[in-house]
Amino acid sequence: MNEVPQKTILLICTAGITTGLLVKNMQRAADEKDLALHIYSAPAIIAEQIIQQQTVDALLIGPQSKYEINRLKDFLHYKAVPYKLIEASDYEALDGEAVLQESLQLLGQ
């Protein structure tokens, strides 16, 4: 395994079913690359609470929740959490590899 500390990636969305499947695909792709990542999802409504209470190294936002960017932007800047809207095509295809690559860019890897 990499000697880098584990990083945490949070995906947020409105409902969670599709995002849960995407998380599984992303975690599988990360594990295959032997990357020290913890990837999970949560409803957008509690994102601020999670970021206050836990370490989140990158935040990815489901395309249907893009309005959350305006709500969370100042808070994310204050907490220095990089964030990105997930590409709709990658989200719809549940392309864990593509979304993982987006995450790694946010993490500077």
Residues designated catalytic: 13
Give Cα separations from 58 to 7, 18, 30, 102 (angstroms). 8, 19, 15, 10
Among 21, 20, 23, 22, smallest CA distance to 8 is for 23
Alpha-carbon gap, residue 78 to 62, rounded angstroms: 21
